[in-house]
Amino acid sequence: MLPAASQPDDAIRLTYRIETAGDPERLAAKIASDQSTGTFVALPGETPELKARVAARVAGYRELPPVATAAWPDGAIAGARYRAGEADIDFPLDAIGTDLAALMTIAVGGASAIKGFSGFRVTGLRLPPAFAAAYPGPQFGVAGTRRLTGVQDRPVIGSIVKPALGLRPHETAALVRDLVAAEVDFIKDDEKLMSPAYSPLAERVAAIMPIIRDGEQKTGRKVMYAFNISSDDPDQMLRNHDMVADAGGNAAVICLNAVGFGGLRFLRKRSRLALHAHRAGWDAMTRHPSLGLDFSVYQQFWRLLGIDQFQINGIRVKYWEPDDSFVRSFAAVTTPMFSPADCCMPVVGSGQWGGQAPDTFARTGRTTDLLYLCGGGIVSHPGGPAAGVKAVQQAWEATVAGVDLDVYARQHTELAQSIAFFGASDAAA
Amino acid sequence: MLPAASQPDDAIRLTYRIETAGDPERLAAKIASDQSTGTFVALPGETPELKARVAARVAGYRELPPVATAAWPDGAIAGARYRAGEADIDFPLDAIGTDLAALMTIAVGGASAIKGFSGFRVTGLRLPPAFAAAYPGPQFGVAGTRRLTGVQDRPVIGSIVKPALGLRPHETAALVRDLVAAEVDFIKDDEKLMSPAYSPLAERVAAIMPIIRDGEQKTGRKVMYAFNISSDDPDQMLRNHDMVADAGGNAAVICLNAVGFGGLRFLRKRSRLALHAHRAGWDAMTRHPSLGLDFSVYQQFWRLLGIDQFQINGIRVKYWEPDDSFVRSFAAVTTPMFSPADCCMPVVGSGQWGGQAPDTFARTGRTTDLLYLCGGGIVSHPGGPAAGVKAVQQAWEATVAGVDLDVYARQHTELAQSIAFFGASDAAA
């Protein structure tokens, strides 16, 4: 047990969960060595002076309870028990620099290849202030999302056109018309809908933006529509961006793992849109508690690179993720790294309708600074989308006022209808 | 059991290993539905016609032996046995298009979030010919690497400056001078060395390229030096690329997972260099046999995007990876997707010296089309780097001739020295 030393201003601190049939503290020392100066044979050029210049060091170590089963089956040893420990390792900023490609390669990616682990997970990342200066961070964030949508003092209420895939642009536009008439604040393309043959992005923009602009003429508020502009090609993504921005759009869906650091970094420098992140693929990196990496680590990279709105599931979702994990994700994206301006607007979605409002509010610090995204939860309301939007707004009014939803529903028809319709299963999409 | 239907020319075929306490065949159908037209509530716009347009379908299913332990601990159910099966799912090309961001989001990333799996792995990907036209693929590949290095009829022999990190540019250059004098064919920066304060890329290029050019003057052959130009910023990566190319360099190290699809796609369009891939971070995606994704899937994305040389470990490496896994990786990058021109030069490295040549040759189809990368295995040879290079060449001569290394070593001093020095541990770096 080594109490964690305080983190120097010129160090990057990584925390790893190490599981092994051997000695986790020894493996922590091996990470520090292998990922900075280590090599297997003493070499002529390797002097103590250069080692000191770039050496990482173990700054803290905490033993965790042993585990019975190796996380990686090929790390199993017959009859073994596995020790687990959490190690803090400080990497000198001078040795890595502020490029996230170097940080990722040295301190996240490379370490997982080391022999001897039966499990390995990156559980913590604390960056020194130099990163604040090196990256743009969110351009809009919470304040910008509120300003652009004109929504204050309550959650921004969003929806998704459903079905997610298969509609032609004019079919999507017809549903968007209903949602705009319903006075929803935000609409987005599904993360899976980019620019397929049956719905090219250009045609979708051409069909949808006139409806958004008409709505603005009528109500004075412009519905924020996030078009999915993701592409593996940054040049194409920028053309997509320009098409949306030039048509008066103000937001875009970005599939983080599919565009990569390079795609987002390139776009953010040139972006006029609020960037709405979808993390498709993240589940596979995080679900095993002894492997992969924590969301708290993952999200820091994308925030530095410029994400404004971060989709993070919600309470009682239709996916595998437990509520506690969602609550930690919400805390992660709303906790400043260096300043409040680097926080993202949390986007709460998946199977949501008004029914999850009370638990969402109670478990996320009683804030209304969120984008509350209901697909089927609005569109499938028995009274139609307008009733669906009203029902969600009513659920949040009740929640903030501390009134039980069932009580509030006595005076609020739309909420009552949604409780009757969705309440049985407590799941929408 | 559903025998696999033949893959239509307009379909993308994914193969998934599904593990569940429930019915894997039912979950296969759920993937096909959720990732194309599925939604939880019947919606007004959802007609059979649009479903048919984009619906994915299960094209084959094979039951695998049940497993006793859930791969994801939170997928475990007390007393349960877990069924496993492999499902082929065809996604219509019209529904996804050829953008790898869409393919990744729909067919790889998104599917992992579905409820009900206790394990989920992407094990196969077969793309239709449309992808061959949509992507550049390797610019140099095997033939280009041979042409640029001037090496035919034997492996290209490479080395890495060691220690990987901590040397200033003039210190690196001094070691490069030794390696060039030793007539190595290829040298690379460590994947962890990008452009830190103590060794900015510009200074490294300025210190090293005159030595490479001098070597070319003397021998008529230019040593291929792969500078690590990786950056999270495509604009920066392109500046790095131009700096290397303008100084007469002909290769670059790219850390795939750190630059992302966007970074590589942007660079490849503008590239004059042979692109040498490092997959740092891949281990965490692939090591659990029931989670993540197979290398055979992973590498297809990067080959389409334009990688020329693919680093894939080797026999008896210093990392966790077993030999069988390396052998499969070698087969993957050397098997045409659409034509032989889309194959990469396999880069065999990690703890290599001449000692692994016979097993490497025997297990990879008796080919010499590879880049054989020895760091310590050359630099730490007791006779110095020149003897190190000779020893590796001799090991491959013996291997191709079918002569036992120990026998060949009787007439070849450098090989004999390396066997005495490295043979005891059979590991170098």
Other C-beta atoms closer than 10 Å to the C-beta of A413 total 14
Contact B429, B377 (CB under 8 A): yes
Domain definitions of chain A by residue range: 11-133, 141-422
For the stretch A99-151, pLDDT in tens is 999 999 999 988 999 999 999 999 999 999 999 999 999 999 999 999 999 99
Contact B280, A247 (CB under 8 A): no
- Testing the interface with B: which of A41, A195, A204, A380 to mutate, by most B Cβ within 10 A? A41
pLDDT band at A429 (very low <50, low <70, confident <90, very high): very low
Least Cα distance to B415 among B398, B397, B399, B391 occurs for B391
Residue A376 and residue B117: Cβ atoms within 8 Å?
no
pLDDT band at A164 (very low <50, low <70, confident <90, very high): confident
Strand, coil or helix: what is A300? Answer: helix
Largest CA distance in chain A: 82
Domain B141-422 part of CATH 3.90.550.10: no
The residue of chain B with its CA nearest to that of A51 is B166
The residue of chain B with its CA nearest to that of A50 is B166
Residue A50 and residue B102: Cβ atoms within 8 Å?
no
A246 contacts chain B (CB < 8 A)? no
Strand, coil or helix: what is A23? Answer: coil
A375 contacts chain B (CB < 8 A)? yes
User: CA geometry: angle at A216 spanning A210 and A222, to 5°?
Assistant: 95
Residue A115 and residue B255: Cβ atoms within 8 Å?
no
Residue A40 and residue B429: Cβ atoms within 8 Å?
yes
Chain B residues whose CB is inside 8 A of the A115 CB are 318-320
What angle, rounded to 10 degrees, do the helices at B385-401 and B413-422 form?
Answer: 100
Quote ipTM for the complex. Answer: 0.96
A95 contacts chain B (CB < 8 A)? yes
Residue B258 and residue A109: Cβ atoms within 8 Å?
yes
Least Cα distance to A230 among B96, B412, B229, B49 occurs for B96
Chain B residues whose CB is inside 8 A of the A108 CB are 281
- Looking at the partner chain, which of B108, B284, B380 has a beta carbon nearest the beta carbon of A291? B284
Size of interface A-B (CB pairs under 8 A): 357
d(CA A240, CA A252): 9
d(CA B385, CA A47): 19
Task: Give residue A41's pLDDT.
Answer: 45
pLDDT band at A166 (very low <50, low <70, confident <90, very high): confident
Contact A100, A301 (CB under 8 A): yes
Report CA dihedral (A295, A297, A299, A304) to the nearest 10 degrees.
180
Task: Give residue A40's pLDDT.
Answer: 42
The pTM for the full model equals 0.96
For chain A, how many residues are written?
429
Residue A102 and residue B427: Cβ atoms within 8 Å?
no
- Testing the interface with A: which of B36, B287, B290, B295 to mutate, by most A Cβ within 10 A? B287
Task: Give residue B429's pLDDT.
Answer: 44
Residue A108, Ramachandran bin (φ over 0: left; ψ between -120 and 50: alpha; else beta): alpha
d(CA B350, CA B188): 13
d(CA B78, CA B93): 41
Residue that is written with structure tokens 């029914």 in the block? A355
Residue that is written with structure tokens 């996604």 in the block? B91
pLDDT band at A53 (very low <50, low <70, confident <90, very high): confident
- Determine phi and psi for A318, rounding to 5 degrees: -85, -5
Class of domain B11-133: alpha beta
A276 contacts chain B (CB < 8 A)? no
How far away is chain A from the Cα of B101, in angstroms, using its nearest Cα?
5
The residue of chain A with its CA nearest to that of B230 is A101
The residue of chain B with its CA nearest to that of A263 is B262
Chain B residues whose CB is inside 8 A of the A95 CB are 165-166, 196, 198
How far away is chain B from the Cα of A278, in angstroms, using its nearest Cα?
9
Chain A residues whose CB is inside 8 A of the B102 CB are 192, 194-196, 230, 258
- Looking at the partner chain, which of B168, B266, B280 has a beta carbon nearest the beta carbon of A105? B280
Chain B residues whose CB is inside 8 A of the A374 CB are none
Contact A396, A154 (CB under 8 A): yes
Strand, coil or helix: what is B235? Answer: helix
A171 contacts chain B (CB < 8 A)? yes
Q: What are B122's two structure tokens?
A: 């992407």
* Eight-state DSSP code of residue A350: S
Q: Residue B36 CA to chain centroid, in angstroms?
A: 30
A351 contacts chain B (CB < 8 A)? yes
Chain B residues whose CB is inside 8 A of the A429 CB are 39-41
Distance of CA B87 to CAs B3, B20, B31, B90, B128, Å? 10, 13, 10, 10, 18
Strand, coil or helix: what is B369? Answer: coil
Number of H helices, E strands in chain B: 18, 13
A96 contacts chain B (CB < 8 A)? yes
d(CA B52, CA B43): 16
- Looking at the partner chain, which of B41, B96, B292 has a beta carbon nearest the beta carbon of A376? B41
B98 contacts chain A (CB < 8 A)? no
**Which positions 199-238 of B are in contact with A (Cβ < 8 Å)?**
230-237
A269 contacts chain B (CB < 8 A)? yes
Q: DSSP readout, B157-194?
A: EEEE-SSSSS--HHHHHHHHHHHHHTT-SEEE--TT-S
User: CA geometry: angle at B407 spanning B401 and B412, to 5°?
Assistant: 85
Strand, coil or helix: what is B385? Answer: helix
The residue of chain B with its CA nearest to that of A160 is B39
Residue A100 and residue B258: Cβ atoms within 8 Å?
yes
Contact B86, B17 (CB under 8 A): yes
The one-letter code for the residue type at B172 is T
Assess whether the previous peptide bond of B163 is cis (omega < 30° from 0): yes
Residue A74 and residue B166: Cβ atoms within 8 Å?
no
For the stretch A206-265, pLDDT in tens is 999 999 999 999 999 999 999 999 999 999 999 999 999 999 999 999 999 999 999 999
Other C-beta atoms closer than 10 Å to the C-beta of B42 total 9
Task: Give residue B423's pLDDT.
Answer: 86
Least Cα distance to B376 among A358, A144, A44, A217 occurs for A44
Q: Could you give the count of Cα atoms lying within 13 Å of B315 in the half-sphere of its Cβ?
A: 14
pLDDT band at A367 (very low <50, low <70, confident <90, very high): very high
d(CA A176, CA B265): 33
The residue of chain B with its CA nearest to that of A36 is B165
The residue of chain B with its CA nearest to that of A121 is B284
Q: What is the full per-residue pLDDT of chain B (429 aa) written as tens digits?
A: 777 889 998 999 999 999 999 999 999 999 999 888 765 444 555 566 767 778 999 999 999 999 999 999 999 999 889 999 999 999 999 999 999 999 999 999 889 999 999 999 999 999 999 999 999 999 999 999 999 999 999 999 999 988 888 899 999 999 999 999 999 999 999 999 999 999 999 999 999 999 999 999 999 999 999 999 999 999 999 999 999 999 999 999 999 999 999 999 999 999 999 999 999 999 999 999 999 999 999 999 999 999 999 999 999 999 999 999 999 999 999 999 999 999 999 999 999 999 999 999 999 999 999 999 999 999 999 999 999 999 999 999 999 999 999 999 999 999 999 999 998 655 554
The residue of chain B with its CA nearest to that of A285 is B285
pLDDT band at A423 (very low <50, low <70, confident <90, very high): confident
How far away is chain B from the Cα of A295, in angstroms, using its nearest Cα?
14
d(CA A379, CA A385): 5
Distance of CA B165 to CAs A9, A95, B171, B198, B243, Å? 21, 8, 11, 9, 21
Report CA dihedral (B300, B302, B306, B311) to the nearest 10 degrees.
-100
A329 contacts chain B (CB < 8 A)? no
B67 contacts chain A (CB < 8 A)? no
